[in-house]
Structure 1
Amino acid sequence: MTEPRRAPLAGVRVLDLSRVLAGPFCAQNLADLGADVIKVERPGTGDDTRAWGPPYLRDEQGQDTSESAYYLSTNRNKRSIAIDLSTPEGAQAVRKIASQCDVLIENFKVGGLKQYGLDYESLKDDMPGLIYCSITGFGQDGPFASRPGYDFMIQGMGGLMSITGERDDQPGGGPQKAGVAVTDVITGLYASMAILGALHERNRSGKGQYIDLALLDCHVAMLANQTLNYMTSGVAPGRAGNAHQNVVPYQVFKTSDGHMIAAVGNDSQFRSFCKAIERPELATDERYVTNSKRIQNRDTLIPMLEEILASRTRDEWIAAFEPVGVPCGPIQTIDQVFDHPQVKARELWKEVPHPLGGVSPTTANPIRYSDTPIEYRRHAPTLGEHTDEILREFGLK
Structure 2
Amino acid sequence: MQALDDVRVLDLTQVLAGPYCTMLLSDLGADVVKIERPGGDLIRPNPPFVGDAGGEGDGKDGGSESDAGDGSDGDSVEEEAYGGYFQSVNRGKRSLEMDLTGEADREDFLELVEEADVVVENFRAGTMEKFGLEYETLRERNPELIYASIRGFGDPRTGETDRQGQPSFDLIAQALGGVMEITGQEDGPPTKVGPGIGDLFTATLNAVGILAALHHRDRTGEGQYVDTAMYDAMISMTERSVYQHSYTGEVPTRRGNSHPTLFPYNAFEAADGHVVIAAFGDNHWQALCEAMDRPDLAAEYPATADRLDHRELLRDEIGDWTAEHAAEEICDLLEGSVPCAPVQDVSDVFEDPHVHARDMLVDVEQPGADEEVTIAGSPIKLSETPPEPGERAPLLDEHREDLLGDGASRAERETADTDD
TM (normalized to structure 1)?
Answer: 0.90
Match of 2:19 in 1: 24
Equivalent residues of 1:257, 1:313 under 8 A apart: yes
Q: Take 1:147 and 1:239, find their aligned partners in 2: how far apart are those partners?
A: 28
Match of 2:162 in 1: 143
Deviations 1:81-128 (Å, cap 9, x if unpaired)? 011111111112111111210000001110101121211022222311
The correspondence of residues 86-97 of structure 1 with structure 2, limited to 5 A, is 86-97=101-112
Q: Give the secondary-structure state (helix, strand or coil) at the position aligned to 1:48.
A: coil
Q: Give the secondary-structure state (helix, strand or coil) at the position aligned to 1:284.
A: helix
Equivalent residues of 2:7, 2:116 under 8 A apart: yes
Equivalent residues of 2:36, 2:95 under 8 A apart: yes
Q: Take 2:258 and 2:264, find their aligned partners in 1: how far apart are those partners?
A: 8
Match of 2:130 in 1: 115
> Unpaired runs of 5+ in structure 1?
1-5
Q: Give the secondary-structure state (helix, strand or coil) at the position aligned to 1:350.
A: strand
Identity of aligned residues (%): 38
Per-residue deviation, 1:327: 1.0
Per-residue deviation, 1:51: 2.2
Equivalent residues of 1:32, 1:365 under 8 A apart: yes
Pairing partner for 1:392 from 400, 405, 408? 405
Q: Take 1:24 and 1:221, find their aligned partners in 2: how far apart are those partners?
A: 21
Equivalent residues of 2:275, 2:340 under 8 A apart: yes
Structure 1 or 2: more strand by fraction: 1
Q: Take 1:135 and 1:77, find their aligned partners in 2: how far apart are those partners?
A: 21
The correspondence of residues 141-290 of structure 1 with structure 2, limited to 5 A, is 141-168=160-187, 173-285=188-300, 288-290=301-303
Root-mean-square deviation (CA), in Å?
2.1
TM (normalized to structure 2)?
Answer: 0.86
Match of 2:361 in 1: 349
Per-residue deviation, 1:377: 5.3
After alignment, is 177-186 or 375-384 more displaced? 375-384
Residue type of the alignment partner of 2:46: W
Equivalent residues of 2:182, 2:254 under 8 A apart: yes
Per-residue deviation, 1:43: 2.5
Residue type of the alignment partner of 1:105: V
Equivalent residues of 1:41, 1:82 under 8 A apart: yes
Match of 2:384 in 1: 371
Alpha carbons of 1:254 and 1:41: their partners in 2 closer, same or farther (altered >3 Å)? same
Match of 1:48 in 2: 42
Per-residue deviation, 1:190: 0.1
Match of 2:72 in 1: none
Q: Take 2:234 and 2:49, find their aligned partners in 1: how far apart are those partners?
A: 29
Alpha carbons of 1:139 and 1:376: their partners in 2 closer, same or farther (altered >3 Å)? closer
> Unpaired runs of 5+ in structure 2?
53-78, 414-420
Deviations 1:187-207 (Å, cap 9, x if unpaired)? 110011000000001111100
